[in-house]
Structure 1
Amino acid sequence: MPDKHHTFWLNFLLLHVMMASVTGEDCFDHRTLSDKVSISYTKLDLSHCNITRLQQSTFRKYPNLQILDLSYNALEELDFSVFQFHTALRKFDISHNKLRTINCSTLQYIRGITHLNLSYNHFKNTFLCKEFAILTKLRYLGLSATRIDRYDFVNLAHQELETVFLGLEHLQQYESGSLQLLDTEKLHVVLPQTSMNTTPLYNDFNISTTLELSHILCEETCDLIVEDIDKIIQKSKVSKLILSNVTIPWHGMVKILYISWRTTIEYLSINRFSYTTRSFYDHIDFSPGSIKSLTIENVIPQDFLFSSRKHPLNIFSEMFIENLTMSHSELSHFPCPPWPSIFQSLKLTNNKITDVIFTKCKTLPNIQSLDFQNNVLERLSSIASMTSTMKSLKYLDVSGNRLYCDFRTACQWSQSLLILNISRNKISDSIFNCLPTNLEVLDLSGNQLSSVNNGINHLKALKELYLSSNQLSHIPDCSHMSKNLIYLNIEENIIHSPAKEQLSKCQHVKRIMAGKNKFQCNCELRSFIRTAEDLHESLIGWPHSFTCEYPQDLKGVMLKDFHPSEISCNIFILVGLIVGTMVVLLVFILFLCKCYDLPWYIKMIFQWLRRKYRIRNNNNEEAMMGKSFHAFISYSQQDYEWVTDLLIPNLEKGDNSIKICHHIRDFIPGKAIIENIIESIEKSYKSIFVLSPNFVQSEWCHYELYFAQHSLLGKNSDHLILILLEPIPQYLIPNKYSKLKAIMKHRTYMEWPKEKGKHGLFWANLREAIKANIPLEDDDIYVFN
């Protein structure tokens, strides 16, 4: 049969069905077909398409076609060679067309057919030509005719059929004995609505054990209809009688029931029953007869209106039958039998039965099965009390109601009850304190359960437990359940991260259905997955029904394919890795500090970045106005060689990009030294001080530092650059040089590295620190020889 995907596309095709033209074109435009239509189609519905002619090209896309419905079209002829390549075709419905003839020679192409419906066409007779004898696998045959002759069915005489349908509403002529050639288990006849003599026809209804009579219509006087049915029943060997599409007064139906009671009928079914008058109670002797089972379904009008003092439903409660079904009849009540009944099964589904059903009823000692699904029952305690007098009750179905459990009310169940179905109600967790103790099968699917409490302990005989479609967040603790439990269904709950222990406790359960939950694929699920793989033989649906719901990027991934890394799930490994990485990094940093003086490099880079930031945020153009030099150098005479051989050449480099104020060449002769110092500092953008133990001993260096600090530091502290040529212990600095102490304590200075490999970075950093655009003029440049 087609899967859900195929069904979707089949519906898609039917939405695009196009009306065929008078020339008999296909029912639908093949342009609506695409590669998404699978050649594995096994069922095709082309009914109600106004098709007038079949073409082989229509069905080429469906080589595996098994079921074809062409009913309700406008076909006038039929050539089965259209299906010569469809050897898998088994069911073919071509009813309700305009067929007048069949190309019998082409029946060989459907020799594997099992179901063939040719009813309601324009055949004058049954048109069963001799070629029908090759349909040896035929099990269902649908026909209709206006006349039936003696040997119409001779070509089917050797066929063992399961069902023969005869639509005889318009039958005008019937030759006695015609149906006797048929060998079928079930005969379904739509009774004639004409004035012909039906006695010969009815006499031949004795060819099957199951007889279905349809379209029994009688508005007021129904004696003739009742007599006809009486004749059919009395002369047939039928054991199962089905009456469908029955429109008859209430008293007429009661008569039919009565005449059926003393016949060979064991199973009587009345479907789609519409009665035209008000119902009333009429006492009839329904003492034990041949009928064992009575089924009444789809009663119209949908209410038992009655005009007598005693309810007409008492007719059914007084019947001595084993099985009674009354479904889709809008019953709000069913009376308790007035005396001990032989009812073994009572099915009152799809009605409006309320809690008062069988209240204090003690006349159902033999009842074994009660089915009240899809009614309006509410209080579970009332249902429990109802069963307490039923000593033989084994099966109770109250699914699809409004039942809730009131934990304050005691529940008194029948001790014989073994199977209880309370699915699709409003049951909460308190239900486990209100259950019969001898249950073997319990269905609580589709309720409001969030957990399974210890109240389930007393169900010692429980073998099957259904908990699907609830609100369970964990797998129930099977250690609290019966050791006889062999089946557990917890599908379609909200179980996110079940623990390994929860599943391990259910090892004694032979079959577990836990798929279709909203599994959250994380590290906590790993142990559950390993346990599930170990128990996969008892875990029904593994692995396909077990998929990730969260996180979104893993949605749809099967749990067996979820493999998180060990490092991401083991906290000890993760912490060890982090700590190990930190230790390795720390050792590496210590190695760099010891062997490559890493702090010095970091300090130099930090100073460079800091100066770049300050330069970007300062108004350099305004600060450079009136400046002739980039920097003024102050140093001790004992450090002269370092300044002249290294400092100045590496700063100026002969490209005039940096102009240094050096007292040897830039002081104006004749001026006082103090004046030259002050004027040079004022004309310099920055001041560089080369600090060393020699610097501390120089009076002039102290003056220069004093003047530079007062002239520049107050405006911009970044204009003062300190170079530590050699370390100066604090105790070597005289107290009178308090300014120098304060500056060295609070300001960052650049250290001259002894390693030659660091010199390049030192000079680059120093040049960057003093670099600026100075608008030098010709008269600002002093050259000393």
Structure 2
Amino acid sequence: MLRINRVRTRGRYSAKVLHVEKMLNTLHRFWLHVLLLHALMANISGEDCFSNQKLPDRLSFLGTKLDLSHCNITRLHTTTFQKYLNLQVLDLSYNALEELDFSVFQFHTVLQKLDISHNKLRTINCTTLQYIRGVTHLNMSYNHFETTFLCKEFATLRNLKHLGLNVTKIERYDFMSIAHQKLETVFLGLEYLQQYESGSLQLLNSKMLHVVLPQTLTDSALLLYDDFNITTTLEISNIQCEETCNDMIRHINMVIQKSKVSKLILSNIKMSWPEISKILQISWRSTVEHLSIYMFILVKEFDYLHIDFSEGSLKSLTIENVIPQVFLHGSYKHPLNIFSEMFVENLTISNAEITHLPCPPRPNIFRSLILSNNKITDEIFAQCVTLANIQFLSFQNNILDRLSYVTSMTSTMKSLKHLDVSGNRLYCDFSTRCEWSQSLLVLNISRNKITDSIFNCLPPNLEVLDLSNNQLSSVNKEIGNLKALKELYLSLNQLSHIPDCSHLSKNLMYLNIDENLIHSPSKEQLTNCQNVEKILAGKNKYQCNCELKPFIGTAEILHENLIGWPQSFMCEYPEELKGVILRDFYPSEISCNVFILIGIIVGTLVVLLIIMFFLCKHFDLPWYIRMIFQWLRRKYKVRNSYHDEIMTGKRFHAFISYSQEDSEWVKNSLIPNLEKGDNSIKICHHERDFIPGKTIVENIINCIEKSFKSIFVLSPNFIQSEWCHYELYFAQHSLFGKNSDNLILILLDSIPQYLIPNKYSKLKAIMKHRTYMEWPKEKGKHGLFWANLREAIQTNNPLEGEEVSLFN
């Protein structure tokens, strides 16, 4: 139901003028049916995934990728994918397939990646493997295979690089069919492995092996021994030790000494800190050079344990996604000291909820230190002088606040080249000179609270500066001090103009000012940046008007420098041009060239004058004009001659116009102080003097004509009332004319000119050219105000007798 009520603005005329009521129940029911039908079409399962309702939404550009996961598919038909001949990537994971005949892909010669994991497959048709001989990625993990099911036909998959399997039993020659192939990655999900024959994995030839350890296998040593000896990159998952991991650690210690693994990854593990420390010690004196620990649940206590890191082969340590479930440490040293004491070139501790890392007690060999996604504060490495060798330092996504602390921290890092402090809460607080490392070449301070003052304090030798997503409104000329700057990122700020490239380094090759508030860039701003090889300036608030036309012309010339031209450059204002590409904006020459416009106007006026001249000559118009002038002059004389007669028809000294919101002041103060019960002044008040049965307009006009003067009580409420405006208009154009003094203005409350709507131009003009009386707020001045007002109303003309009707 739609109901529209329009009420008069002024309260005393608050009767409803318009009441429109439309019933939309039919249309409402129609839309309910449409929505219900849409919901039923969207709730597709099983083979309905292949219907035209779902497939187009899951196809990528040109139909090269198709995602049909979680569709509850139980069977594939020969014609299922026949019309998608360009298919390169197909995801059929998390369905209910129980058997698979690869002949369904006989027309897909470009298919490269096939994922059939997490189904119910127990067997596959090996004779049809020839139809996927071009596949490079094949994931068959987490099905119901008892063995690897790698039949001899797998030897035809000569392009295979990535293979995923899961089994419950591995026998000696299960991998014989792919033994000759050089694979990149092999994934073995062995959670439910019940039987393993020694040496079975030795047939695999893979650069990386990812093994999910079994939960119930009695002797894991044989499996681990083979894992550590068939590849240089090994990932072991699912090490779960609620109480102790002594057996697992003993097995790892036994086989790791004879392994060829150089990169060891432990993922999805759960154990205590002492046991992790043992793995660190084992890895430290092995062939492992790179150790990574992901998805680590830390249980029990977290105490400092001393480890001798003086000799070892480990070059990098990565610990990410730690969930601590530990008691507070009680040792004399914080357990994080173990990382500060390590002699590794690359250390990463990310998403581990650490708040600090102690300064190394002696000079360290850190080259790269990444402490991102933690809760590190400003006190990190304060006055730390043992990190002189560090080159890459990242505190991304922490809670750093003061930039001056960051600069002071880096001043002792003599080799620092790359610093990333993005995603913090940094603000400029330079009260003294800033101290940066002089070796710093790359600085990322994006996603902070940096303002324009940053340009007064930057490392002088920077080559790459990222200040995107901050609070910059301009680029100061001090940026010219960065003589070696090659890349400058300023996207997602508050810039209103393209930076002056004459102040930037001559070596600048990349400038990103995307997604700012740039609305009217000039041709000169873009021309100054023509030596910059790549400029990203799309997605700004471009205002498409005549001023933008030179910029568009220059952009067309320099389009090779503008990344994303023209698709990313669109009009934002005015509203009717929003979304229009700048290159498609063609303003007319007349609207943009003032000289052409003046020429057309002058030419048109000349033509009109010539036409009027000939019309006057032909139709004798001057004679008609003289006749009209004489008629108007006679009318004016007649009007003056009846002035006295008009004056004798008055029944009131003054008519009062006011807003209903000011009625209390009018009733309780204005009328009582003017009339005083002696009939010396008689006021026309609508509540007692309007005649029932007459229209409001008739009452207003007749009251004004029957009154010597009209009093208008001005206030902010007054200018909001259209009826008050009408009364002012009628009073101004009454029989007395514009130049008479029949209008009395009382300013009850001040009215700023900007509050008066443009459509009330007459009110603006009256307030500008007429004198008005201002109601004093001080009570002692009220007597003088009433005296002046009564004097302004007094007239020597007598009122018409009370028996004369208001509407003669």
Range of TM-score over shorter length: 0.7 to 0.9
Output the TM-score relative to the length of structure 2: 0.70
Tell me the equivalent position of 1:621: none
Question: What's 2:429 paired with?
Answer: 406
Q: Which amino acid aligns with 1:16?
A: A
- What whole-Å deviation, never above 9, does each CA across 1:492-513 have from its counterpart, x for those lacking one? 1010000111112212222211
Change over 3 Å in CA distance of 1:32–1:436 after alignment to 2: closer
Counterpart check, 1:163 vs 2:189: no
Aligned to 1:566: 589
Instruction: Identify the residue that residue 320 of structure 2 maps to in structure 1.
Output: 297
Equivalent of 1:64 in 86, 89, 104: 86
CA 1:151 to 1:509, structure 2 compared with 1: closer, same or farther past 3 Å? same
Match of 1:147 among 163, 166, 169: 169
| Cα pair 1:519 1:548 within 8 Å, conserved | yes
The structural deviation recorded for 1:595 is 4.2
One-letter code aligned to 2:140: L
Partner of 2:212: 190
Q: CA deviation at 1:304?
A: 8.6
Query: 2:257 is paired with a residue of what secondary structure?
Result: helix
Q: 1:321-470, aligned counterparts within 5 Å?
A: 321-470=344-493
Corresponding residue number in structure 2 for 1:551:
574
- Paired residues of 2:58 and 2:66 also in contact (CA < 8 A): no
Alpha-carbon distance between aligned partners in 2 of 1:352 and 1:31, rounded to the nearest angstrom: 47
Which region of structure 1 is more displaced relative to structure 2, 596-605 or 533-542?
596-605
In structure 1, the partner of 2:297 is 274
Once the two structures are TM-superposed, the CA of residue 486 in structure 1 deviates from its matched residue by: 1.6
Q: Is the 8 A contact 2:58 2:68 kept in 1?
A: no
- Matching of residues 731-746 of structure 1 within 5 Å: none
Is the Cα–Cα contact under 8 Å of residues 218 and 248 in structure 1 kept in the other structure? yes
Write out aligned runs for 1:333-732 (5 A). Answer: 333-600=356-623
Contact 1:302-1:329 at 8 Å conserved across structures: no
1:117 is aligned to: 139
In the superposition, relative to structure 1, how do residues 595 and 35 fare at CA in structure 2: closer, same or farther (>3 Å)? Answer: farther
Matched, 1:100 2:122: yes
Count how many residue pairs are aligned between Structure 1 and Structure 2: 596
Q: 1:172 aligns with which of 194, 197, 221?
A: 194
**Is the Cα–Cα contact under 8 Å of residues 372 and 397 in structure 1 kept in the other structure?**
yes
| Match of residue 668 from structure 2 | none
Closer, same or farther in 2 for the Cα pair 1:369/1:561, shift >3 Å? same
C-alpha distance in structure 1 between counterparts of 2:435 and 2:285, whole Å: 40
Give the CA deviation at 1:207: 1.2
- Please name the residue that 2:42 is paired with: 16
Cα gap change, 1:605 to 1:187, in 2 (>3 Å) = farther
CA distance in 1, matches of 2:526, 2:301: 60
For residues 110 and 332 of structure 2, the distance between their equivalents in structure 1, rounded to whole angstroms, comes to 61
State whether residues 300 and 325 of structure 2, in contact with CA within 8 Å, keep that contact through their aligned partners in structure 1: no
Match of 1:636 in 2: none
Map of 1:48 onto structure 2: 70
What SS is found at the alignment partner of 1:456? helix
**Counterpart-to-counterpart distance in 2, 1:34 and 1:16:** 13
C-alpha displacement at 1:597, in angstroms?
2.6
Which consecutive unaligned segments of at least 5 residues does structure 1 have? Answer: 1-11, 611-785
Question: For the structure 1 residues 593 and 230, does the alpha-carbon distance in structure 2 shift closer, same or farther, using more than 3 Å as the test?
Answer: same
For residue 93 of structure 1, report the CA deviation from its aligned partner: 1.5
CA distance in 1, matches of 2:217, 2:224: 14
Between the aligned partners of 1:16 and 1:316, the Cα distance in structure 2 is 53
Structure 2: distance between partners of 1:312 and 1:207 = 35
1:390-428 per-position Cα deviation (integer Å, ceiling 9, x unaligned): 000010000011111024343211111111000011111
In structure 1, distance between residues paired with 2:554 and 2:594: 21
Q: In structure 2, how many angstroms separate the alpha carbons of the residues matched to 1:57 and 1:608?
A: 95
Q: In structure 2, what is the equivalent of residue 653 of structure 1?
A: none
Deviations 1:318-360 (A, max 9, x none): 0000000000101110110000000000000000011100000
Which of the numbers 250, 258, 274 marks the counterpart of 1:235? Answer: 258
Question: Residue 328 and residue 486 in structure 1: after superposition, are their counterparts in 2 closer, same or farther (change >3 A)?
Answer: same
Deviation at 1:463, TM superposition (A): 1.3
User: What is the one-letter code of the residue matched to 1:463?
Assistant: K
Alpha-carbon distance in structure 2 between the residues aligned to 1:214 and 1:486: 45
Shift of 1:28: 6.2
> Structure 2: how far apart are the matches of 1:35 and 1:434?
50
Q: Which one-letter code corresponds to 2:338 in the other structure? A: I
State how far apart, in whole Å, the 1-side matches of 2:315 and 2:60 are: 48
The equivalences for 1:196-215 within 5 A come to 196-205=218-227, 206-215=229-238
Question: What letter corresponds to residue 96 of structure 1 in structure 2?
Answer: H
Which residue number in structure 2 is paired with residue 221 of structure 1?
A: 244
> What is the identity, as a one-letter code, of the residue corresponding to 1:493?
N
User: d(CA) in 1 for partners of 2:79 and 2:39?
Assistant: 16
Q: Hey, what's the Cα distance between the residues in 1 that align with 2:528 and 2:290?
A: 48
Aligned pairs (5 A) from 1:120-131: 120-131=142-153
Question: Structure 2 residue aligned with 1:244, among 260, 267, 275?
Answer: 267
Note the residue ranges of structure 2 that are not aligned, 5 or more in a row: 1-37, 634-808
How big is each residue's C-alpha offset from its partner over 1:572-628, in whole Å with a ceiling of 9 and x where there is no partner?
111121112112211222232234434446778999999xxxxxxxxxxxxxxxxxx
Give 1 or 2 for the bigger CA radius of gyration. Answer: 1
1:235 is paired with a residue of what secondary structure?
Answer: coil
Task: Tell me if structure 2 keeps the 8 A contact 1:355–1:383.
Answer: yes
Residue 95 of structure 2 corresponds to which residue in structure 1? 73
- The answer as to whether partners of 2:304 and 2:336 remain within 8 angstroms in 1 is yes
Go from structure 1 to structure 2 and tell me whether the alpha carbon gap of 1:193 and 1:573 turns closer, same or farther (over 3 Å shift). Answer: same
1:459-488 Cα offsets, whole Å, 9 max, x none, are 122111100110100011111122221211
**Which secondary structure state, in structure 1, belongs to the residue aligned with residue 265 of structure 2?**
strand
| Distance in 2, Cα, partners of 1:67 & 1:14 | 29
The separation in 1 between residues aligned to 2:128 and 2:40, in whole angstroms, is 28
For 2:152, the aligned partner's letter is K
Displacement of 1:232 after TM fit?
3.5
Q: 1:14 & 1:482 partners in 2: Cα distance?
A: 61
Change (3 A) 1:607 1:257: farther
Inter-partner Cα distance in structure 2 for 1:506 and 1:177? 65
Residue by residue over 1:88-108, the C-alpha shift from the partner in whole angstroms, topping out at 9 and shown as x without a partner, is: 322112122221110111112
| Superposed CA RMSD | 2.5
Measured against aligned partners, the alpha-carbon deviations of 1:501-559 in whole angstroms (never above 9, x if no partner) come to 11122122222111111111100011111111222222222222111111222222221
Shift of the 464–31 alpha-carbon distance from structure 1 to 2, 3 Å rule, reads closer
Q: Cα distance, 1:61 vs. partner? A: 5.4
Contact 1:303 1:330 (C-alpha < 8 Å) held by counterparts = no
Contact 2:244 2:271 in 1 (8 A): no
SS state at 1:506 partner: coil
Once residues 588 and 36 of structure 1 are traced to their aligned partners in structure 2, the CA distance between those partners, rounded to angstroms, is: 70
CA contact (8 A) 1:407 1:433 kept: no
Report the Cα distance in structure 2 between the residues aligned to 1:35 and 1:149, rounded to whole angstroms. Answer: 44
Shift in alpha-carbon separation, 1:232–1:70, aligned structure 2, 3 A = farther
- Deviation track 1:282-311 (CA, whole Å, cap 9, x = no partner) reads 111012421111100000127894221211
Give 1:233 deviation, angstroms. Answer: 2.0
Task: Give yes or no for contact 1:173–1:196 (8 Å, CA) kept in 2.
Answer: no
Distance 2:60 2:564 in 1: 26
User: TM-score normalised to the size of structure 1?
Assistant: 0.72
